[in-house]
């Protein structure tokens, strides 16, 4: 007997009928002789509805109270799923984030998990119960509810699997695994049989919505066995693990993309050793994530700096920069909206020169202008016009021959 953690997303629990189906999947695992911990998201569009209600009350609602509000979505799901399991004759108990012992930072809306006290869950498992845990939430040192940001239920599930030393963590979603790109946009995208932690982390960071980056970080750091699989189809999914078998002729294993980006250019910065650290420390202290960065020096010993951010962060970024202008000592700021990031990822890129050149050739052949570039050992990212995002994805998916059946060798 082992411990299995299962996570079901919002679409998987979007109705009473779907919750009953999820209960059957949970019971199947219990019948195999395993202790089962289930993490669930809010039903369907519940979170969007709660956000809309808050916006009817206030244009800028309190972040603390938003966490209190949004955490109720998952609490609805845990109670309903627990009722379904009890109805089917299986002993089960629901736990909110704080009841499950999930301790988080005091950063409302985007907290990180600091520690998990597992005594309560272990006691329930020892009594033979299925434990159903609310994802996306934890409790701060001040006893306030904090939510974990987008994809927080994935993070909850993997963190619990690590803390409980679970044998496996299964992430159930509305797709059958991790694909070479999003099959909703590229029809000939194919499912990968396995992906390394590093590749999955890059794909998740670069816009692949199937797993949240923090969840992959937990899995990698604590060696959690992870599988992404369908909540509807009973077939094997994609295994995320330390090392994977090289797949035939697959230097690039996936194309990721993310829209709604903006570029901020700060010109006339002092060309000093501390100018870059000062500006990015200022942004980080205000919880603004900066992505692709380009620096260039001018003839008069000044520095121009461009970086990409999420479009939703633009107003806050400009406000922070303006408030700290005296300290940062820059002259002007320019912005460009309506951008997207398109990236290729693959561990095979390390030993195969010319991948970047092939990428730029493919984009140039479809008249797509590259505005910014960022690279690492296993990825190349480009910033392009958002209106050309899917066109760029299709061009790269074709150029690197990602269509067709993947065969492990």
Structural domain boundaries in the chain = 3-174, 245-409
30: left (phi over 0), alpha (psi -120 to 50) or beta: alpha
Residues 10, 22 contacting (CB under 8 angstroms)? no
Tokens of 223: 């060696």
3-174: CATH number: 3.40.1160.10
Residue 408's pLDDT band (boundaries 50, 70, 90)?
A: very low
Q: Can you give the pLDDT at residue 71?
A: 97
DSSP alpha helices (H): ranges in 228-371? 275-285, 314-323, 325-328, 355-365
Mean pLDDT for 183-207 is 92
pLDDT in tens, 302-324: 889 999 999 999 999 999 999 99
| pLDDT surpasses 80 at 174 | yes
What pTM did the predictor assign? Answer: 0.84
Q: What per-residue confidence (pLDDT) applies to 409?
A: 29
* Alpha helices in 268-331, H assignment, sequence order: 275-285, 314-323, 325-328
The mean per-residue pLDDT over the stretch 175-193 comes to 93
List, for residues 251-303, the tens digit of each pLDDT value.
899 999 999 999 999 999 987 778 889 999 999 999 899 999 999 887 677 88
Judging by beta carbons within 10 Å of its beta carbon (0-12, 13-18, 19+), is residue 89 exposed, middle or buried? exposed
What confidence score (pLDDT) does residue 352 get? 83
The DSSP bridge pattern shows strands 168-173 and 3-8 to be parallel
* 213-254 pLDDT tens trace: 889 999 999 999 999 999 988 899 999 988 765 554 578 999
pLDDT for position 384: 98
Q: Is 81 exposed, middle or buried (0-12, 13-18, 19+ CB in 10 A)?
A: buried
Q: CATH homologous superfamily for 245-409?
A: VC0802-like (3.30.2130.10)
% of residues, the chain, pLDDT over 90: 83
Find how far residue 368's CA is from the centre of its chain. 27
Strand partners, 408: 247
pLDDT of amino acid 350: 83
pLDDT per position as a tens digit, 76-92? 999 999 999 999 999 99
């Amino acid at each position: 007997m082992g411990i299995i953690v299962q996570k079901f997303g919002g679409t998987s629990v979007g109705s009473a009928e779907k919750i009953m189906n999820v209960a059957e999947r949970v019971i199947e695992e219990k019948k195999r002789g395993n202790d089962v911990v289930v993490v669930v998201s809010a039903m369907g569009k519940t979170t969007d509805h709660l956000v809309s209600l808050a916006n009817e009350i206030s244009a800028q609602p309190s972040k603390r109270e938003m966490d209190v509000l949004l955490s109720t979505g998952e609490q609805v799901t845990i109670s309903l799923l627990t009722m379904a399991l009890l109805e089917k004759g299986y002993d089960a108990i629901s736990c909110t984030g704080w009841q499950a012992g999930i301790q988080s930072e005091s950063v409302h809306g985007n907290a990180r998990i600091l520690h998990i006290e597992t005594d309560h869950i272990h006691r329930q498992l020892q009594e033979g119960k299925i434990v159903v845990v609310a994802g996306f939430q934890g409790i701060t040192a001040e006893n306030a509810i904090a939510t974990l940001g987008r994809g927080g239920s994935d993070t909850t599930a993997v963190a619990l699997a690590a803390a409980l030393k679970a044998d496996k963590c299964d992430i159930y979603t509305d797709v059958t695994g991790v694909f070479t790109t999003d099959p909703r946009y590229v029809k000939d995208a194919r499912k990968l049989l396995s992906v390394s932690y590093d590749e999955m982390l890059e794909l998740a960071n670069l816009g692949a919505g199937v797993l949240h980056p923090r969840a992959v970080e937990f899995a990698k750091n604590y060696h959690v066995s992870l599988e992404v699989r369908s909540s509807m189809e009973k077939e094997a999914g994609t295994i995320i693990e330390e090392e994977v078998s090289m797949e035939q002729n697959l230097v690039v294993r996936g194309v990721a993309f993310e829209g709604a980006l903006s570029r901020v250019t700060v010109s006339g910065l002092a060309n000093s050793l501390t100018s870059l650290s000062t500006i990015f420390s200022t942004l980080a202290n205000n919880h603004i994530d900066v992505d692709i960065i380009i620096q260039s020096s001018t003839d008069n010993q000044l520095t121009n700096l461009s970086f990409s951010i999420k479009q939703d962060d633009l107003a806050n970024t400009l406000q922070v920069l303006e408030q700290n202008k005296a300290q940062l000592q820059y002259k002007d700021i320019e912005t460009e909206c309506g951008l997207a990031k398109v990236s290729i990822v693959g561990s095979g890129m390390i030993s195969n020169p010319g991948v970047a050149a092939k990428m730029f050739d493919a984009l140039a052949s479809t008249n797509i202008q590259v505005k910014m570039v960022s690279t690492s050992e296993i990825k190349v990212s480009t910033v392009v016009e958002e209106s050309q995002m899917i066109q760029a994805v299709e061009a790269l998916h074709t150029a690197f021959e990602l269509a067709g059946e993947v065969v492990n060798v």
